[in-house]
C-alpha cells in the first residue's frame, strides 16, 4: 500500500528527520488559512499515489498567498495519470544547494533489504542508474544484523560528505531505515533529501510503500485502503474486502483457482496455448460456495473478460461447494459469458453431478481446459 507524501512526511518528522513545514488542504478555499501560517515562497503539491507527478505538472510554486491559492485551484481541477487530485500539500519552499537520494527497498535476488544512496536526487532512481550507474551506491543489509551507524556513515562518505555533515546525514539515513522496519516497508525513500543553502539536510519529498501482508499491524492505513482511497481498482478493493487474492492483468480470460501455485500454473498454461489471462484470483483453501460466488462476480465485473476458466484442485476446498458457488453466481450475477471448469479432488463426483445436471460441462485435464478456454476467447 502506498502512502501519500503528507502521511510519509508526518512519520519521518516523528522519527526526527527534518521535513519542510507545511499543511494539508482538502479544498481550495482552505489555501489562504494554511499558507498564512507558513513563510513564502511556497511549494504546492498534488497528493496522488503515482510516481512522476512533478513531470505531469502536479508540483507548482508560488511567491505569495494569492499565487498559492491560484496554484491550489489549478491542482484541484487536475487528473494526474488518471487519478483525481483530492488533497493538496502546501509547504515552505527550500533554498536548495544540492539534491541527494536515499532509500531502502527489498533485493529479492539476495533475499535482503538494500540501502541505496546517490549524490544525484530529484530523479527516479531507475533513471539515475541508467544514465550514471557509477553515482548509485548500494549496500546489502544483513537481515540478522540490520543497518547501523557505521553503514550510514559509509554511504554518506561515498556520496561526498565528511565531518559534521557526514554524521548528520548518516543519522538521517539510520532513522529512515528504522521507519522502514517499523512500518513494514517494501520501499521507503527520500527523493530528494536536500542539502539546503544553510548546510542542513531536509527530506523534500518522501515515499513509503507498506507490504500489504503487514497492514493488519497498521490499522489506520488498512481502514483507508478499504474505504477506497488508494490506487487499487474496484475489483482489487472488493477482493481485499472479501479476503481474496486478486491482481488485474491485461488479457481477456478470467481465471479463478484455489492456491497461488495452481493459479500461477493456470496463467502459464493459458499463455502456453497463446491465450491472455485477465487476472490472477486465488480463493484460497476451504472456499465456501458464497466465496466462489463473490470471486465469480469480481472477475466478471471486468468488461475485458470474454471467457472464464475455473480451475479447482480440491483438498481442503470441496468440489461440491465450488459447484454450488458457481450455480449461485450464475443465478445472482446472471453469468452469460462462457465458462470452462476443471474440477478434481475432494467430493469431485458430487461436484461434477451438480454441474452436469445444470448442463455445465466439467473437464479433468488442466491442459485440455486451457486449450478450450483459449479457443473460446478467440
The answer to whether residues 11 and 72 belong to one domain is: no
The answer to whether residues 168 and 125 belong to one domain is: yes
How does residue 367 score in pLDDT terms, banded at 50, 70 and 90? very high
Per the annotation, the verdict on 101 as an active-site residue is: yes
Please give the backbone phi and psi of residue 200, each rounded to the nearest 5 degrees, phi first. -85, 160
Note down the domain range covering 144: 1-19+95-231
Each residue's pLDDT tens digit, 64-92: 999 999 999 999 989 988 888 999 999 99
- Which range among 118-127, 162-171, 223-232, 255-264 shows the weakest confidence by mean pLDDT? 223-232
Each residue's pLDDT tens digit, 110-145: 999 999 999 998 878 888 888 888 899 999 999 899
The answer to whether residues 5 and 99 belong to one domain is: yes
- For the cut 70, the answer to whether the pLDDT of residue 32 exceeds it is yes
Q: Say what the pLDDT of residue 116 is.
A: 97
Does residue 214 sit in helix, strand or coil? helix
The answer to whether residues 111 and 220 belong to one domain is: yes
- For the cut 90, the answer to whether the pLDDT of residue 147 exceeds it is yes
Q: How many domains does the chain have?
A: 3
Q: Say what the pLDDT of residue 229 is.
A: 64
Distance CA 15, CA 12 (A): 5
Q: Name the domain boundary from 182, 212, 231.
A: 231
Alpha helix segments (H runs only) across the chain:
5-14, 31-35, 65-76, 125-131, 149-158, 163-182, 219-226, 234-241, 260-272, 289-300, 319-329, 348-357, 366-377
Cell reading at 297: 462476480
What are 128-134's contacts with CB under 8 Å, separation 24+? 128/101
Task: Work out the percent of the chain whose per-residue pLDDT is above 70.
Answer: 98
- For the cut 90, the answer to whether the pLDDT of residue 272 exceeds it is yes
Task: Work out the percent of the chain whose per-residue pLDDT is above 90.
Answer: 62
Catalytic residue among 6, 101, 113, 246: 101
The answer to whether residues 125 and 184 belong to one domain is: yes
The answer to whether residues 9 and 40 belong to one domain is: no
Q: Say what the pLDDT of residue 318 is.
A: 84
Specify the DSSP class assigned to residue 217: G
Q: Name the domain boundary from 68, 93, 118.
A: 93
92 forms beta bridges with 42
CB 153 within 8 Å of CB 167: yes
The answer to whether residues 295 and 203 belong to one domain is: no
Q: Say what the pLDDT of residue 267 is.
A: 96
The answer to whether residues 243 and 354 belong to one domain is: yes
The answer to whether residues 100 and 198 belong to one domain is: yes
The answer to whether residues 4 and 140 belong to one domain is: yes
- For the cut 90, the answer to whether the pLDDT of residue 330 exceeds it is no
How does residue 266 score in pLDDT terms, banded at 50, 70 and 90? very high
Distance CA 227, CA 213 (A): 18
Overall average pLDDT of the 288-305 stretch: 87
The answer to whether residues 163 and 249 belong to one domain is: no
Q: Say what the pLDDT of residue 332 is.
A: 74
Strand-strand pairing, 206-210 and 42-46: unpaired
* CATH for 71: 3.30.1490.20
What are 267-275's contacts with CB under 8 Å, separation 24+? 269/366, 269/367, 269/370, 270/309, 270/370, 270/373, 270/374, 272/370, 273/370, 273/371, 273/374, 274/374, 275/251, 275/370, 275/373, 275/374, 275/377, 275/378
Distance CA 137, CA 142 (A): 16
Q: Say what the pLDDT of residue 46 is.
A: 96
- For the cut 90, the answer to whether the pLDDT of residue 269 exceeds it is yes
The answer to whether residues 318 and 371 belong to one domain is: yes
Nearest to 254 by CA among 313, 337, 323: 337
Higher pLDDT, 183 or 350: 183
Phi-psi bin for 204: left (phi > 0), alpha (psi -120 to 50), beta?
Answer: alpha
Q: Name the domain boundary from 213, 231, 249.
A: 231
- Which range among 146-155, 233-242, 291-300 shows the weakest confidence by mean pLDDT? 233-242
Strand-strand pairing, 245-248 and 206-210: unpaired
Each residue's pLDDT tens digit, 95-108: 999 999 999 999 99
Higher pLDDT, 318 or 177: 177
Distance CA 266, CA 372 (A): 13
* CATH for 303: 3.40.50.261
* CATH for 148: 3.30.470.20
Straight-line distance from the first to the last Cα atom of the chain, in angstroms, rounded to the nearest whole number: 35
Q: Say what the pLDDT of residue 275 is.
A: 95
How does residue 331 score in pLDDT terms, banded at 50, 70 and 90? confident
CB 245 within 8 Å of CB 280: yes
Overall average pLDDT of the 364-377 stretch: 92
CB 308 within 8 Å of CB 346: no
Angle at 221 between CA 73 and CA 58, to 5 degrees: 25
Q: Say what the pLDDT of residue 343 is.
A: 86
Catalytic residue among 69, 174, 189, 236: 189
Each residue's pLDDT tens digit, 206-239: 999 999 889 889 988 887 777 766 667 788 888 8
Amino acid at each position: 500500500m502506498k502512502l501519500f507524501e503528507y502521511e510519509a512526511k508526518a512519520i519521518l518528522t516523528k522519527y526526527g528527520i527534518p521535513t519542510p513545514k507545511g499543511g494539508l488542504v482538502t479544498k481550495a478555499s482552505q489555501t489562504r488559512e494554511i499558507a498564512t501560517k507558513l513563510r513564502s515562497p511556497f511549494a504546492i503539491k498534488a497528493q496522488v499515489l503515482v510516481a512522476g507527478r512533478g513531470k505531469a505538472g502536479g508540483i507548482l510554486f508560488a511567491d505569495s498567498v494569492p499565487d498559492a491559492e491560484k496554484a491550489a485551484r489549478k491542482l484541484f481541477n487536475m487528473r494526474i495519470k488518471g487519478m483525481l487530485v483530492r488533497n493538496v500539500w502546501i509547504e515552505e519552499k527550500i533554498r536548495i544547494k544540492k539534491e541527494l537520494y536515499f532509500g531502502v527497498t527489498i533485493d529479492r535476488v539476495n533475499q535482503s533489504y538494500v540501502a541505496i544512496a546517490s549524490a544525484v536526487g530529484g530523479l527516479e532512481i531507475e533513471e539515475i542508474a541508467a544514465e550514471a550507474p557509477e553515482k548509485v551506491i548500494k549496500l546489502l543489509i544483513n537481515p540478522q544484523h540490520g543497518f547501523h551507524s557505521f553503514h550510514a556513515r559509509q554511504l554518506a562518505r561515498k556520496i561526498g560528505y565528511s565531518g559534521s555533515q557526514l554524521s548528520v546525514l548518516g543519522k538521517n539515513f539510520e532513522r529512515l531505515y528504522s521507519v522502514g522496519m517499523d512500518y513494514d516497508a517494501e520501499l521507503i525513500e527520500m527523493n530528494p533529501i536536500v542539502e539546503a543553502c544553510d548546510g542542513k539536510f531536509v527530506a523534500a519529498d518522501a515515499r513509503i510503500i507498506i507490504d500489504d501482508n503487514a497492514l493488519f499491524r497498521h490499522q489506520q492505513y488498512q481502514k483507508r485502503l478499504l474505504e477506497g482511497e488508494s490506487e487499487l481498482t474496484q475489483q482489487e478493493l472488493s477482493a481485499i474486502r472479501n479476503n481474496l487474492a486478486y491482481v488485474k492483468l491485461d488479457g481477456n480470460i478470467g481465471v479463478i483457482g484455489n492456491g497461488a501455485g495452481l493459479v500461477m500454473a493456470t496463467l502459464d498454461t493459458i499463455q502456453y496455448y497463446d491465450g491472455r489471462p485477465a487476472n490472477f484470483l486465488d480463493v484460497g483453501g476451504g472456499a465456501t460456495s458464497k466465496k466462489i460466488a463473490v470471486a465469480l462476480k469480481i472477475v466478471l465485473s471486468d468488461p475485458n473478460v470474454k471467457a472464464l476458466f475455473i480451475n479447482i484442485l480440491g483438498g481442503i476446498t470441496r468440489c461440491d461447494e465450488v459447484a454450488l458457488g458457481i450455480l449461485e453466481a450464475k443465478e445472482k450475477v446472471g453469468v452469460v459469458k462462457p465458462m470452462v471448469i476443471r474440477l478434481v479432488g475432494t467430493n469431485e463426483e458430487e461436484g461434477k453431478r451438480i454441474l452436469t445436471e445444470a448442463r455445465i460441462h466439467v473437464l479433468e485435464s488442466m491442459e485440455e481446459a486451457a486449450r478450450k478456454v483459449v479457443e473460446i476467447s478467440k
